A = this chain, B = another copy of it.
């Protein structure tokens, strides 16, 4: 039901500095970047095995990502797992008293179906759940 780690997202202050480590030094390769307007951030995707590292830089000073960066500094923002049935997973978590940020799938980068579990219910970890395929709504 939980299939794999889809990605680990890292909040960075400066994308050029970040790619100097993750790409030039460590040896991962950026497959593409996306400017996510409604998240006020740019994301670089670096595939590794069947997963990705995502580097996230805020593009405004007011976005949620910018405020996270101000408060906590750069570092891992969330980990995302692929599930085979997102709504069923959310219903099961909800029934077990797990605090969900999204009780129904919402639309993530590239039109995918995603939802977040609150860190209060996940040992301080912001957990994203992702179902492969494009949202139909």
Interface residues of A, Cβ cutoff 8 Å to B: 1-5, 8, 10-13, 17-18, 21-22, 24-28, 48-51, 55, 73-76, 79, 81-82, 89, 92-93, 96, 98, 119, 121-125, 127
Contacts and interface: CB of A to CB of B under 8 A. Distances in A.
Contacts of A8: 5, 8, 79
Contact of A51 (B13, B51, B124): B51
Q: Is the interface of A mostly helix, strand, loop or mixed?
A: mixed
A11 to B, nearest CB: 8
A2 B28 CA distance: 7
A98 B5 contact: no
Nearest to A78: B76
Contact of A79 (B1, B3, B76): B76
Given A50-B50, A73-B124, A123-B74, A2 B25 contact: no
In the assembly, how many copies of this chain are there?
Answer: 2
Contacts of A13: 123
With a 10 A CB-CB cut-off, give which of A1, A11, A21, A119 has the most chain B CB atoms.
A21
B125 A25 contact: no
